Amino acid sequence: MKVYHNSSCSKSRLCVEFLTQEKHDFEVVNYMKNPLSKAELQGLLARLELKPSELVRRNEVLFKEAKKVGVLTEDEILQLMLEHPKLIERPIVEVNGKAVLARPIENLESFLQIELNRITR
């Protein structure tokens, strides 16, 4: 299990606390310190089954400024997230080749029930 984590984000910290309390083994991926490559971000988007526009933090100033120039394509949004990792919505949890945006935490709870049941079958 991997958690794509930004320690300055309260929702991300809540996710890590939840997984710790539930005694799940997980690896923390601090994408702010070690930014994702284009291939890694594209793979993560595929596992999430989301487009870049569905994973970008739309209320961040950086994104709003970029939108002032005009409508952004999916590739442009992807590039923006690569250049500014804080634009990636978080936390993201990956299990068994699938991933979920764990916000709200209830998304994570239901995802884990499904994915962990698949592993134990």
**Computed from CA positions of residues 15, 1, 47, 61, in that sequence, does the dihedral angle turn out positive or negative?**
positive
Paired tokens of 31 = 């994408």
Q: How far apart are CA 4 and CA 15, in angstroms?
A: 10
15 is catalytic: no
pLDDT at 84 > cutoff 70 = yes
pLDDT at 4 > cutoff 70 = yes
Paired tokens of 102 = 């764990």
Residue 100 has phi, psi (to 5 degrees) of -140, 145
Catalytic residue among 1, 9, 32, 72: 9
Q: How confident is the model at residue 57 (pLDDT cuts 50, 70, 90)?
A: very high
Percent over 70 (pLDDT), the chain? 98
* Mean pLDDT estimate for the chain: 93
Which superfamily, per CATH, for 2-120?
Answer: Glutaredoxin (3.40.30.10)
Q: How confident is the model at residue 67 (pLDDT cuts 50, 70, 90)?
A: confident
Domain range list for the chain:
2-120
| 3-state secondary structure (DSSP) of residue 116 | helix
